[in-house]
Structure 1
Amino acid sequence: MAGRRRWSTEEILDAAAELLRTSDADSFSVRKLAAALGTDSSSLYRHFRSKTELLRAVADRILLAAMDDYSPEGDWKQRITSLALHVREAFGQQPQLASVWGRHASSGTGSRLVMEEVLQALSASGLPDEDIPARYHRIAVLLAALITSEARVSTVTPEEYEQGMELFRVAVLGADPERFPALSRFAREVRPLGVDRRAAFEEILAAQLAHIEDAVHPD
């Protein structure tokens, strides 16, 4: 009887990414992946020592895809902004994988390429070397939080979105003005989280970069 097919590491990652598109990191398991490939879990553990290691490798491929389409141009702020938007766009195409990245991070080539570019850009900003690691960490935390949060919103179904919008309208427009005077005052201008997220993303990132620039060139 012929033996079971031997799957390559890339084929396993392809199948894992496809499985994650229709589920999430919580329900994902090596057993389910093995079943989808028609093999047993032990064969997959020859490639990855744990579920977490496998998930990190899947997320890292998103970062690699982002870096393949990225070319550093402009000053240090433009470089970081462009990189951030590339990473955002890459995870926007596969939002289920953003939560994997936010939870498990990555230590692969894609992650190292992103780290290298941010650190190089910060070095070009004029910051002293001793300040760069802390500034890098703040940018990394900010991007992971924003991209992961945005991905959660983008994965809701149209029915869930409409239900959420109706609840938002009831909660905001129907707020008791005596108990919530400020909310009642701005109710018609306050927008739900799913609206105009790219502009919010860019403004929040720009504020962080402006804070760095102020540290380099204090008044």
Structure 2
Amino acid sequence: MSERVVPEEGRRRRRPTKQGTVLSERLIVDTALRLIGEHGAGALTVRRLGASLGADPSALYRYFRDTDDLLLAVADELIGRTLRRFRPTGAWRADLRTLGLI
């Protein structure tokens, strides 16, 4: 992941959002993935994500430099989930097919 704007210890929100949630990078990425699953990737906006978290959209920039940085974190999570489930068989072509690479 890229270098963060604010160090991790400084990113912790001191008070809960309107919905009583304490923001974290993990929560933001998980919520973004949920929104993508429900509405599609084109519907993911900082405004919609902030509303889902019960936070001002600008609060997300405390955790991510910009929307590209947020999307990279989402992609990292998806790649990580795929690789955690992947078990190589030793047949490299079949393995590449399993990963959707050929």
> TM-score, normalization: structure 2?
0.68
Match of 1:4 in 2: 16
- Please say if residues 16 and 23 of structure 2, whose CA atoms lie closer than 8 Å, have aligned partners that are also in contact: no
Higher relative contact order (CA 8 A, sep 6+): 2
Match of 1:198 in 2: none
Larger radius of gyration: 1
Q: Does 1:44 align with 2:56?
A: no
Task: Specify which of 76, 79, 82 is matched with residue 66 of structure 1.
Answer: 82
Equivalent residues in 2 for 1:55-134 (5 A)?
55-74=71-90, 78-85=91-98, 87-88=99-100
| Rounded Cα–Cα distance in structure 2 between residues aligned with 1:7 and 1:80 | 42
- Please say if residues 16 and 33 of structure 1, whose CA atoms lie closer than 8 Å, have aligned partners that are also in contact: yes
CA offset digits 1:159-184 (Å, max 9, x no partner) = xxxxxxxxxxxxxxxxxxxxxxxxxx
> TM-score, normalization: structure 1?
0.35
Task: Specify which of 23, 30, 33 is matched with residue 14 of structure 1.
Answer: 30
Give the total of aligned pairs: 85
Structure 2 gap ranges (5+): 1-13
| Rounded Cα–Cα distance in structure 1 between residues aligned with 2:76 and 2:97 | 15
Aligned AA (1:64): G
Structure 1 gap ranges (5+): 89-142, 144-204, 206-219
Match of 2:9 in 1: none
Identity %: 34
- Please say if residues 70 and 83 of structure 1, whose CA atoms lie closer than 8 Å, have aligned partners that are also in contact: no
| Rounded Cα–Cα distance in structure 1 between residues aligned with 2:89 and 2:81 | 18
